[in-house]
Amino acid sequence: MTRKEDARFVRGRGTYVDDVRLPGTLHAAVLRSPLAHARITAIDTRAAEAHPKVRVVITGAVLADRGLAWMPTLSGDVQAVLATDKVRFQGQEVAFVIADDPYSARDALALVDVDYDPLPPVVDARTALDPDAPVIRDDREGRRDNHIFDWEAGDAAATDRVFAGAAVVVAQDVLYPRVHPAPLETCAVIADHDVVTGKLTVWATTQAPHAHRTLLATITGIPEHRIRVVSPDVGGGFGNKVPIYPAYVCAVAGSMLTGRPVKWTEDRSENLMATTFARDYHMHGEIASTVDGKILALRVRVLADHGAFNGTAQPSKYPAGFFHIVTGSYDLEAAHCSVTGVYTNKAPGGVAYACSFRVAEASFLVERLVDLLALELDVDPAELRMRNLLRPEQFPYTCSTGWEYDSGDYPRALALLLETAGYRELRAEQARRRELGEHLGIGLSFFTEAVGAGPRKHMDIVGLGMADGAELRVHPTGKAVLRISVQSQGQGHETTFAQIVAHELGIGPDDVDVVHGDTDATPFGLGTYGSRSTPVSGAAASMAARKVRERARIVASAMLEVSPDDLEWSPGRWSVRGDPTAGKSITEIAAAAHSDLDLPDGVEGQLDASCVYNPPNLTFPFGAYLCVVEVDPGTGQVVVRRFVAVDDCGVRINPSIVEGQVHGGLADGIGVALMELIAFDPDGNHLGGSFMDYLLPTAVDCPSWELAETVTPSPHHPLGAKGIGECATVGSPAAVVNAVMDALRPFGVRHADMPLTPAAVWRAIQGRPLRG
């Protein structure tokens, strides 16, 4: 089925926040810090306020008077809404100017005079804990360092024992650099506070409208039932639109101050400089094995750069997200990982960009280590993986750091990959080409993803348990409307969620409309990230539809004057067991449920049903990827020749949407591996503020993807589906980097950090690798 929403998107009929026009709207612009670390000694707004079109200039002091200068982050920290004492990263919000039009607001920024007293910045996370490092968060009571948290998983002593006895140990420092989700639509908001009713309506481009409503209530003190958050069409999220940003709070304050709607739309540089980044993990990994390549254990230490405020978006009990899935797809005796989070003078945020809460970093590290082990043992990396993958009979499998993998058949996926790619022939071609002095590289990765958070008992964000609601209304004519708590940013929920209901009720997907992105019109739920929509909300939709089906059975029994137990279901129809001609369709039953029929007990009239789905576990999709590159040693240029991907996300609701998700994620992987980087100079100046500097992959950089699939249903999801949205972004960077390292083997290169730009590759060949 093709995507329902594309009919409006390809006609330019989508409605994004910027398309929302309210009468009397004022426009805002944000004044940002030019320095990475400085004390603010004075702010003079008089000239800006004198601008004929400026209505209000909001500073930290104005917010502080209302208790709004600081706001909670998604990780239990606080973040400055507008700086009062210090600026802590370049691009930090300092003032919010509201004017009659967006151009005047921008112009007036230049009229705000801020005196800064520069302070030395912490730019390299590896120096953040030095005794003489400048203290970034001197606002924190009793804390005089840049330390945020220490966290560990696994059994350290058992791991040390296995390492002590292991014949082979390979170690490597691996940087997963700071990258950015970079959605095409930047962040935007319109806040409209009605002074008469006290109702606040916020149009925002968000992935989690309900969570934002609760947060806005907490921050502003406006009662939650008087807040409505509307997230219309969203032009890409990739994690960037999970948090609340300071300008959103300023827009609300601005609307309360002016009594008018206040609109703010970020530009590209602001998005790249100041909104949530991803990764920035300095990792040290060790892998232990026997001489014949049985992998025994993994030991990992991480230094995590969280920027100036700890604003990572992830379940609150997991300060390093799901990084402890670093054991990957292998059967280990022991594993231990520890993560230390630190503040630096960089933008806050973290974990965004199709990462499944740090599975991206974990998966990259273990797959690099396995390749380095193959190099050390001089065995084929495909062979080494095949020898060590979990076997199907081991599922459900509890790994040494505590995850319970629900289902999988890993050897089958790897075998299918090798066959689809023609692995043996590829290796033969590589040998031939090496003799000609050509540098073909073949890289593999195998990943296990963990998506679909909760259960709510173990997982919450700011105290909100991770479950999702769905409400299904069936109209008298049998047409249905499904209301869901998750919010599509391009993933096609209007199509796939309609398909889920259609499948359960045996009606056409065109007979089901999906409503999302408006908190007044949808049930509460935690939203779309961590590829949780299908595993959690999709399950809610399915269960709600099954309740409708059961209700329909009772109505049909009254219509047919038989016991409900004597009815059997076939798609779209309840009929008398053994007599398919005596039956009633869902459409007929819906009409009867709204009619003067005497309804039996258990049906109040109508067929509507709802469900709040609390997942029993995450789902664990997996995949096997292979990348073929060619490297020009003269220029360091890498060209991706082929990319073969086998994905298993359980039952696929819409195969073409799943393929689209995989295509997008593979392109992300090429971007991260070869070109994307948020870099800083030693003064903390941000060096990637436009798409000239922050490179995104285009079609030219991508080969024609070669996809294949296996289907291992999730045993606990009602439809057997697992999430897919982030799989390819998680799994593909390792395949690309492993391929480049394979191509560089004749030069004795073991490892080089991403992004593998021509300069980085050339330096690695010269034996002088660029280091993060």
- Nearer to ligand MCN by Cβ, of 77 and 726: the residue is 726
Q: Is residue 522 within 8 Å of residue 497, measured between CB atoms?
A: no
- What SS3 state is found at 322? coil
What is the size of the binding site for ligand CUM (CB under 6 A)? 14
C-alpha 276/C-alpha 309 separation (Å) is 11
Q: In this chain, which residue has its C-beta nearest to ligand CUM?
A: 239
**Using rule CB under 6 A, residue 657 touches ligand MCN:** yes
- Inter-helix orientation angle 209-220/246-258, to 10°: 60
Chosen residue from 29, 351, 459, 590 binding ligand CUM by CB under 6 A: 351
Q: Please pick, from the candidates 99, 153, 354, 628, the single residue that binds ligand CUM as defined by CB under 6 A.
A: 354
User: Between residues 102 and 465, which has the closer beta carbon with respect to ligand MCN?
Assistant: 465
Q: How far apart are CA 135 and CA 344, in angstroms?
A: 9
Alpha-carbon separation of residue 636 from 477, 695, 757 (angstroms): 64, 17, 7
Measured from the CB of residue 660, what is the shortest distance to ligand MCN in angstroms? 7
Q: Which does 469 bind (CB under 5 to 8 A by kind): ligand CUM, ligand MCN, none?
A: none
237 is an interface residue for ligand MCN by CB under 6 A: yes
Contact residue for ligand CUM among 70, 248, 330, 353 (CB under 6 A): 353
59 binds, options ligand MCN, ligand CUM, none, Cβ within 5 to 8 A by partner type: none
Among ligand MCN, ligand CUM, none, partner that 661 touches (CB below 5 to 8 angstroms by kind): ligand MCN
> How far is 169 from 166, CA to CA, in rounded Å?
7
**Closest approach of ligand CUM to the CB of residue 62, in Å:** 33
Min separation Cβ 176 and ligand MCN, Å: 16
312 binds ligand MCN (CB under 6 A): no
Q: Choose which of 327, 340, 528, 587 interacts with ligand MCN (CB under 6 A).
A: 528
The residue among 699, 695, 697 whose CA lies nearest residue 678 is 695
Q: Can you tell me the distance from the alpha carbon of 499 to that of 505, in angstroms, rounded to the nearest whole number?
A: 10
d(CA 344, CA 303): 12
Q: Within 173-232, which residues bind ligand MCN (CB under 6 A)?
A: 183
Nearest in space to 635 (alpha carbons), one of 760, 754, 753: 760
As a whole number of angstroms, the distance between CA 312 and CA 539 comes to 27
Element (H, E) at 708: strand 706-709
The single residue among 310, 329, 445, 489 that binds ligand MCN, judged by CB under 6 A, is: 489
Query: Stretches 336-344, 350-358, 503-511, 617-625: which one binds ligand CUM (CB under 6 A)?
Result: 350-358
C-beta closer to ligand MCN: residue 439 or 516 = 516
Distance of alpha carbon 661 from alpha carbon 42, whole angstroms: 49
* Interaction partner, residue 192 (ligand CUM, ligand MCN, none; CB < 5-8 Å by kind): none
- Look at residue 654 and give the partner it binds from ligand CUM, ligand MCN, none, a contact being a CB closer than 5 to 8 Å depending on partner kind: ligand MCN
Q: Which does 351 bind (CB under 5 to 8 A by kind): ligand CUM, ligand MCN, none?
A: ligand CUM
Classify residue 595 by its DSSP letter. Answer: S
Q: At what angle do helices 727-743 and 359-377 cross, to 10 degrees?
A: 30
Q: Which of 91, 121, 239, 408 binds ligand CUM (CB under 6 A)?
A: 239
Residue 232 tokens read as: 């219309």
- Where do we find the tokens 């982030």? 726
* DSSP 8-state class, residue 536: I
- Binding mask 692-731 vs ligand CUM (x if CB under 6 A, - otherwise)? ----------------------------------x-----
Minimum CB separation from ligand MCN for residue 542, in Å?
11
Q: Compare residues 4 and 86 and give the one whose CB is closer to ligand MCN.
A: 4
Of positions 238, 281, 343, 762, contacts ligand CUM by CB under 6 A: 238
Residue choice 478, 530, 684, 755 for contact with ligand CUM (CB under 6 A): 530
Contact 374, 387 (CB under 8 A): no
Per the structure block, which two tokens stand in for 242?
């999970």
Task: Give the DSSP per-residue string, 409-438.
Answer: -HHHHHHHHHHHHTHHHHHHHHHHHHHTT-
Rounded to the nearest angstrom, the gap between the alpha carbon of residue 567 and the centroid of all alpha carbons in its chain is 44
Which tokens belong to 19? Answer: 């398309």
By CB under 6 A, tell whether 545 contacts ligand MCN. Answer: no
C-alpha span between 158 and 297 (Å, rounded) = 9
534 binds, options ligand CUM, ligand MCN, none, Cβ within 5 to 8 A by partner type: ligand MCN
Nearest distance in Å: CB 462, ligand CUM: 16
Outline where DSSP puts E strands in 343-495: 397-398, 404-405, 439-448, 460-461, 464-465, 468-474, 480-484
Nearest distance, CB of residue 724 and ligand MCN, angstroms: 4
Sign of CA dihedral 264, 268, 274, 279: positive
Residue 322 touches which of ligand CUM, ligand MCN, none (CB < 5 to 8 A by kind)?
none
Nearer CB in complex with ligand CUM: 163/529:
529
352 binds ligand CUM (CB under 6 A): yes
Angle at alpha carbon of residue 542, lines to 537 and 545, rounded to 5°: 125
Site for ligand CUM in 161-220 (CB under 6 A): 207
Q: Which of residues 700-729 bind ligand MCN (CB under 6 A)?
A: 721-726
Q: Does 277 bind ligand CUM (CB under 6 A)?
A: no
Reduce the DSSP state of residue 395 to 3 states and report it: coil
Q: Which of 54, 351, 354, 467 binds ligand MCN (CB under 6 A)?
A: 354
Nearest Cα neighbor of 537 from 484, 474, 584, 588 is: 484
Residue 3 interface partner, choices ligand MCN, ligand CUM, none, CB cut-off 5-8 Å depending on type: none
- Contact between 264 and ligand CUM per CB under 6 A: no
Question: What string of H, E and C letters represents the secondary structure of 206-243?
Answer: CCCHHHHHHHHHHHHCCCHHHEEEECCCCCCCCCCCCC
Residue pair 616/679 in contact (Cβ under 8 Å)? The answer is: no
Which residues would be at the binding site for ligand CUM (CB under 6 A)? 207, 237-239, 242, 351-356, 529-530, 726
**Footprint of ligand MCN (CB under 6 A):** 183, 236-239, 354, 489-493, 496, 528-534, 538, 649-654, 657-658, 661, 664, 721-726
